[in-house]
Structure 1
């Protein structure tokens, strides 16, 4: 086998070794192959020993091993990124579906607003309007010149009439069913 072909095969082997061992071992193998080639050339082919050509050959083997290691790492990173992207897309689709279902449930609950056994008083509707605008019980009490306890009592009555457990649900129910519209 001609010497040039053997050198090419050794470089290819050095590059492929990085697929099977870590970078440090691949470099050590590349240098070992280069060293073996250094001693084999004078013995097998009768060529003179040239340190500069051996150094160049060794560096090329190391370069091949490093480049293939980088290619392998890039491929692994790309695969991980693609897997992460698929997982994110799946999570996004699941969240989108959950949001769609939650919105459907919310709209169904608003459509199925209970028929009030007892209608809301004007004062209760005013309290709900203020709560819907973001006012706290204390702020509502100050605006309507009542005590905070009185506002809490009104909210208890409102919750019972609307069949809900908290003020947020009361506001949502009232807004969705049009109870806060004027004249109702």
Structure 2
């Protein structure tokens, strides 16, 4: 008989493939998500980096450190490969909003962590980029879901009442962060 060994990563991926739904429970989203389960899962792809992630990062009240590390790397600054820890609250907000969208389609990640250099470059090109962007703290993400409108994604994120939500209709994305609860955009 051959002995089978599994790495933690392989087990996480196998478990992610069989999970039914993500179930974040955050202070401001508790009522929305109560009873949704004891697993949190994030699904995203990044066309610029040519990468996808489908990861369970929380099980039975515990964050899984290797999963958070993979998510952090996935959400790196794609322009210069700079990596900064991503705040788990941001991942929870993304997961909660995705659950409300009732789709299995992953997010398209447009921007996760932004290095100060990238943020300065983007700021020089657009008045819509904050000088002290939460992207530079690993506390924000810009995403879209092609099967849902910007308005639908915005409303799902806003319903979580758990951070900042910006609607960028002309650019076809929604900003979500774990900062103070607020909304903007049109």
Q: Larger Cα Rg: Structure 1 or Structure 2?
A: 1
The structure carrying a bigger strand percent of its residues is 2
- The question of a shared fold, defined as TM-score above 0.5 by the shorter chain, is answered with no
The structure carrying a bigger helix percent of its residues is 1
TM-score range, shorter chain: under 0.3
